[in-house]
Structure 1
Amino acid sequence: MWDLTPGIFEDHSQKYSINFGHFPPAWEQSVKAYVWILINNETPRPVQGGPSSPKPLALSSIARLPTHLRRLVSWFDERGYDSLQGASPSVLDRLLAEVGETGLGFTQKRQIITETRRLWVYRDIVPQQLRLPDASPWQEETAGDLLAHRHRRPGNLTPRIGDETLVPLLAWAFRFIEDFAPDITAAYREYCALLSRGHRHTPAGARETPAPGSRKPILHAVLERLRDLGLGLPGQPGPDGDPVINWCHLARLTGFLGATHALYDRDVVVGSGLGVDTDSYLTTRCTAQLDGRLWHGPFIAWEEAIPLAVHLQTACFIVIAYLSGMRPGEVLNLQRGCHNENPRTDMHELHGTRWKSARNREGAKIPEGQIRQNPWIVHPMAARAVDVLEDLHSMDLLFPRTLRPQAVRWYTPRADGRAGNGQTTPKTTGDIASFIRWVNEYCARRQHSDSIPDDPDGRITPSRFRRTLAWHIVRRPRGLVAAAIQYGHIADLVTQGYSGSYDSGFPNELAMERWLERIERITDIDHYLEAGGHVSGPAAEKLRERTGLATAKFAGRTLPTRRQADKLLQDPSLQIFKGDGLHCVFDQATALCARDTDRPNLGQCRSACSNIARTDADVLEVQTARDRLSQDHLAPPIRHERTRKVSDRLTEIIIDHEQGLP
């Protein structure tokens, strides 16, 4: 087995290794030599179906290749081949047919095709056993054509988070950051301080020995403090379910060993007159309120301190990931001191390391990553989340592997061999699910109405926040996010934060979302027209023409790259924009709102513009706007007359549309 983990420097990474024992024994040495070539070859070769300008594979990518390579090699081994020299076109067609009949998904089948072609392009330097014949496997056919597969829809296959889930999820994340954070942070700090006094958490010889005769005075002082706070003796469930004294927690509060008071001070403790609590509580009092009462009981229990701290950390991840547009790994690698408020621009900056697209002059991935030249410009709430994390713990990484302090004695280190000290993406996924579960149980217990429903597309993974932000920036639904956060404002911040750099990926993401949004809108209009829908307005015929042209040109089109999406946005047939109560069939030569730009200013549409077209749904919006107009006859004459004229104009639009109906 080869351990590739030491060559991967992302703190959020998992362990990466290759187990060659899964390959047929007769092929194992040849496969090792081939993988060694992939790791050390600095001149990558283009693979059919891959990028035209290939870059050396990252170690994490190489670690995933053997799964598909093993399927390929095992297929030949099981059929009696001792090398790939027998991979004639007919044999490869049989391989393809049998792979197509397996239960593997399209992505896995495509990877087998890709790995076959990768072996072919390296055929002059791989071991003789792995050399394919000179003929290119399957010629120039794409994997989609070979497997008779078509994507069901163009677009980013990462599903966005539905509004019904996103709104309460963000609302609760904001609550944790703005309201609950001081109580959770204080409890977590007390937890760490008490734990650090324990025998396992104190280096040998460093534990302070209490002064002789100090035990009972300290115990009396602790008991009096519990009485003053309104607490009883720390408790835990007994054999019959009734609470019994938790002697270990009492010892934590006094600073002595766990069994000390049970052995020597039982009469003092029992005679204190204090009852036994149902749990063992920390002594920091909660103060934050929700709906006019404490969000939690007066005190946080010992066993709650770490889970609540993790929930607070998760809330911070949700807010940072969603309001910044960062990739999950970029968030998980943020370090203490990354937040800076620029005095010149009054904007919040986050400084960090980028991993994707961090490459040297030869195009090879830089394992250590690169410090991002331009900081991310973020919303103040995301900056607040960073400050909360820095206040919560003292570790360098904002999202460390664990928040639970590790013992220094009698402790067995983790056996996963992972080099990174940060939280992994899978763990973050689990923490988000745990956060949602806690919120829903809390809402059920407190009869709170804003629980977090399940998302129709399944669990909330970290990558879905970036995808969802891009979707919302492009669509800009109104009144979606608590605290009246405006997506237009976030769009400006995120765009500035990425400085228009395509290496960052997010401008590309926005271009893709804009292209998808245009296609979705035009598809809806096309379905509407096919069903006999009526269109009115001076640009009605132009809307029909562009819709038909765009549908013919883009229907069934495979997913373009994000750079291609940016270019496709300039296609004339896609210049259809949704406004309030209208569709703008944009033509710069005749537009009254934007003579000097290539996009309409939908906030300044003029009724005399020849680019306006309206569907039935648009006219319903017009009718709603007319019905909302004030009919106050006691208003000043000028205001009343102006309202009447606006109402008359909207009525004319409605009548013109209805007169054109069949």
Structure 2
Amino acid sequence: MTSPTTDAGPVLIDPAPDTFVLPFTRLRPGVDPAQLPRFADLTWRLSLMNRKESVRPLVIDWSRCPAPLRPALMRAAFAELHVPTPAVLLQQRASRSVTQPTSLRQYFLTWIRFARWLASRGVLELSQVTAEDLEVYAEHRRTAGRRWRTDQRALGVISRLWAYAPFLPESDRLVMPPWEDPAAVMSDFLGTNDDAPEGENAVPIVHPAVMSPLLVWALRTVLDLGEDIVAATREHRRLLASIPAQATPGGIETVRDHMRRLLASGQRLPASVGPAAAAVAARYGGELPPMANTFLAAALGVTPGQVATARGSMAEELRPEHFGPGPVLDVPIAGRIGDLPWRPPIGFDEVDSLVLHLSTAALICCAYLSGMRPEEVLALRRGCCTRTERSDGTLRFQVTGHHFKGVLDEDGNAIPEGELRPDPWIVLEPVARAIAVAEQLEDGELLFTRTLFRGARRTIEARTQLSSDAAVERIRAFTVWANQLAVAHGRTHELIPADPDGAVALRRFRRTIAWFIYRQPGGRIALAVQYGHAATA
């Protein structure tokens, strides 16, 4: 990436409305050009530049910025995307010559909040901002009750507007912030730093009273209940694969004959009890419950549309009492909780949710028991785990995968796709079992994807890897499901309580297992070896 300069100095940033916003050299391979935002668009999807699969959509909505200041900030954002980081910023510890999309989104959101504050004070151009205004803004942030370091980073992001001023029209040029004065220190504007010491990990551990039963249920689901769910998944997929792609000749009459035979023999029609069944019933109204169209289509070799048409043609003949429970799969239940089977036979409409819970349990086991970072465990691929029998008869399980933290190119910029970790992770057998389960659930190379179930929402980006945010929601759903099983089996001592520090996120697992290991004899040395803690090593 080169700086737009001429012999007369920098070329001012003033893109035409139809100018593509994102640098072509940074785009994800295979991106459809029709998806690329142009300068006049109010929505910029920055993740089109990110080659890390688990990243969030990273959308910037410029409509949230006050209209008078919006063009100036959009030009500054364009400069951030196309001009290498100015030297004055490279002198700061955390700056790189190329900024990653996740950081860019935070920068632009900080600018939008700053613009709202300016607009509330009647400032309509960046060039109108004075050093005194910026001192007042620092005081405004200081009194809002945020962490000192959060405010420090925010003021540093405002400094970026000043750093790019030479590349912007005169009306867009921000005065040098007073905290950038060589004689100034940030505490002059934000007060005394009362945060934890620099370098101390501020991520809260998962409370032991939460982590213990959560791990119990994750291991139980993978080791004891997983075989039943995997067997049901195979049968479910076999049935779905048997549905023809096109309407079968005479299929509607075949369905009607089947329905009438069931009713004549005193049997009831299978109803749909899937998550969307209630919504469908409410949408279309009527007294009759929704029928299990997909299951009947698979059983009769017709399309779901033909089943729906046949049911509609018999509406005058049907009554609510003609419908029974949802269809179940012909898969025996082998898993047990205590002395009892863990559940009745698995229903056709329950498979998708059970697959998600099993995949989540495998993810919890892998992330917690290995100590991998979130992006590392989410990037695991089929065949990553190997089993080696040593000469003394013991078994060793190794996991090979990519790591991302500290992976830099020759210019010191982060490599988003990471690189293969030179040393594999040494893991326990339950982690190897969890990986094997994930491999049975997924069809592709990745072990944890957002497209695991049929109802996965599609996005305009061809990304499949699960994101950390989506993992939080799956862990929350798994917790609810595990607690339902605990109550059903009278195991209230295994209920998973709410964590006092909020949602259980993947990044908290690594911190939690480290907390436990550190408190064991020799734990500090073990952490240095397994987790690569540079300071301890």
TM-score bin, normalised by smaller chain: 0.7 to 0.9
Counterparts in 2 of 1:248 and 1:79: CA distance versus 1, 3 Å: closer
> 1:462 aligned to 493, 506, 509, which one?
506
Q: Superposition pairs for residues 231-380 of structure 1, below 5 Å? A: 234-235=270-271, 246=292, 249-258=295-304, 278-297=325-344, 299-342=345-388, 346-380=395-429
Q: Aligned partners of 2:504 and 2:126: how far apart in 1?
A: 43
Counterparts in 2 of 1:437 and 1:110: CA distance versus 1, 3 Å: same
- Once the two structures are superposed, what CA deviation does each residue of 1:200-253 show, in whole Å capped at 9, x if it has no partner? xx3x5xx88799x9999999xx99xxxxxxx98745689999999856534422
Counterparts in 2 of 1:188 and 1:250: CA distance versus 1, 3 Å: same
Q: Aligned partners of 2:307 and 2:108: how far apart in 1?
A: 57
Give the corresponding residue for 2:232.
Answer: 187
Unaligned runs of at least 5 residues, structure 1 = 224-230, 267-274, 408-412, 478-486, 501-506, 509-562, 568-662
Q: CA deviation at 1:198?
A: 3.1
- Once the two structures are superposed, what CA deviation does each residue of 1:170-219 show, in whole Å capped at 9, x if it has no partner? 111111111111100111121222223335xx3x5xx88799x9999999
Q: Aligned partners of 2:177 and 2:500: how far apart in 1?
A: 46
Q: Superposition pairs for residues 213-612 of structure 1, below 5 Å? A: 234-235=270-271, 246=292, 249-258=295-304, 278-297=325-344, 299-342=345-388, 346-405=395-454, 414=458, 416-448=459-491, 449-476=493-520, 492=526, 495-496=528-529, 498=531, 500=532, 507-508=533-534, 563=535, 566=536
Question: What secondary structure is seen at the aligned counterpart in 1 of 2:412?
Answer: coil
Determine if contact 1:9/1:420 at 8 Å carries over to the other structure.
no
Segment of structure 1 superposing worse, 5-14 or 116-125? 116-125
Q: CA deviation at 1:62?
A: 0.4
- Once the two structures are superposed, what CA deviation does each residue of 1:438-495 show, in whole Å capped at 9, x if it has no partner? 1111111221131112222222111110110111111139xxxxxxxxx95x974x75
Letter in 1 for 2:63: G
Question: What secondary structure is seen at the aligned counterpart in 1 of 2:331?
Answer: strand
Q: CA deviation at 1:337?
A: 1.7
Counterparts in 2 of 1:127 and 1:337: CA distance versus 1, 3 Å: farther
Residue correspondences, number: 468
Segment of structure 1 superposing worse, 284-293 or 112-121? 112-121
Determine if contact 1:174/1:319 at 8 Å carries over to the other structure.
yes
Question: What secondary structure is seen at the aligned counterpart in 2 of 1:397?
Answer: coil
Q: Aligned partners of 2:239 and 2:470: how far apart in 1?
A: 27
Determine if contact 1:11/1:419 at 8 Å carries over to the other structure.
no
> 2:189 aligned to 146, 152, 164, which one?
146
> 2:207 aligned to 145, 151, 162, which one?
162
Question: What secondary structure is seen at the aligned counterpart in 1 of 2:426?
Answer: strand
Counterparts in 2 of 1:470 and 1:209: CA distance versus 1, 3 Å: farther
Q: CA deviation at 1:325?
A: 1.5
> 1:98 aligned to 133, 140, 144, which one?
140
Counterparts in 2 of 1:356 and 1:128: CA distance versus 1, 3 Å: farther
Segment of structure 1 superposing worse, 336-345 or 61-70? 336-345
Question: What secondary structure is seen at the aligned counterpart in 2 of 1:282?
Answer: coil
Determine if contact 1:232/1:276 at 8 Å carries over to the other structure.
yes
Give the corresponding residue for 1:7.
Answer: 49
Q: Aligned partners of 1:317 and 1:159: how far apart in 2?
A: 20
Counterparts in 2 of 1:21 and 1:193: CA distance versus 1, 3 Å: same
Determine if contact 1:44/1:56 at 8 Å carries over to the other structure.
no
Q: Aligned partners of 1:77 and 1:218: how far apart in 2?
A: 68
Q: Aligned partners of 1:243 and 1:354: how far apart in 2?
A: 50
Question: What secondary structure is seen at the aligned counterpart in 2 of 1:359?
Answer: coil
Determine if contact 2:148/2:193 at 8 Å carries over to the other structure.
no
Question: What secondary structure is seen at the aligned counterpart in 2 of 1:284?
Answer: coil
> 1:59 aligned to 85, 96, 101, which one?
101
Determine if contact 1:49/1:142 at 8 Å carries over to the other structure.
no
Q: CA deviation at 1:144?
A: 5.3
Question: What secondary structure is seen at the aligned counterpart in 1 of 2:397?
Answer: strand
Letter in 1 for 2:222: I
Q: Aligned partners of 1:127 and 1:216: how far apart in 2?
A: 72
Segment of structure 1 superposing worse, 439-448 or 313-322? 439-448
The structure that has the greater radius of gyration is 1
Q: CA deviation at 1:104?
A: 6.2
Question: What secondary structure is seen at the aligned counterpart in 2 of 1:337?
Answer: coil
Q: Aligned partners of 1:475 and 1:126: how far apart in 2?
A: 54
Letter in 2 for 1:163: P
Unaligned runs of at least 5 residues, structure 2 = 1-41, 274-280, 314-321
Determine if contact 1:12/1:425 at 8 Å carries over to the other structure.
yes
What is the TM-score when the length of structure 1 is the normalising length?
A: 0.61
Q: Superposition pairs for residues 65-214 of structure 1, below 5 Å? A: 65-81=107-123, 83-85=125-127, 87-102=129-144, 109-133=151-175, 136-137=178-179, 139=181, 141-143=184-186, 146-148=189-191, 150-151=193-194, 153-154=196-197, 155-198=200-243, 202=245
Question: What secondary structure is seen at the aligned counterpart in 2 of 1:129?
Answer: helix
Question: What secondary structure is seen at the aligned counterpart in 2 of 1:349?
Answer: strand
Q: Aligned partners of 2:175 and 2:293: how far apart in 1?
A: 75
Determine if contact 1:195/1:252 at 8 Å carries over to the other structure.
yes
Segment of structure 1 superposing worse, 390-399 or 82-91? 82-91
Letter in 2 for 1:16: L
Q: Aligned partners of 1:241 and 1:289: how far apart in 2?
A: 39
Counterparts in 2 of 1:330 and 1:135: CA distance versus 1, 3 Å: closer
Q: CA deviation at 1:13?
A: 1.4
Q: CA deviation at 1:369?
A: 2.9
Counterparts in 2 of 1:214 and 1:131: CA distance versus 1, 3 Å: closer
Q: Aligned partners of 1:389 and 1:399: how far apart in 2?
A: 7
Q: CA deviation at 1:36?
A: 2.5
Letter in 2 for 1:293: L
Q: Percent identity?
A: 27
Counterparts in 2 of 1:353 and 1:247: CA distance versus 1, 3 Å: closer
Determine if contact 1:120/1:137 at 8 Å carries over to the other structure.
no
Determine if contact 1:354/1:371 at 8 Å carries over to the other structure.
yes
Determine if contact 1:56/1:364 at 8 Å carries over to the other structure.
yes
Determine if contact 2:55/2:467 at 8 Å carries over to the other structure.
yes
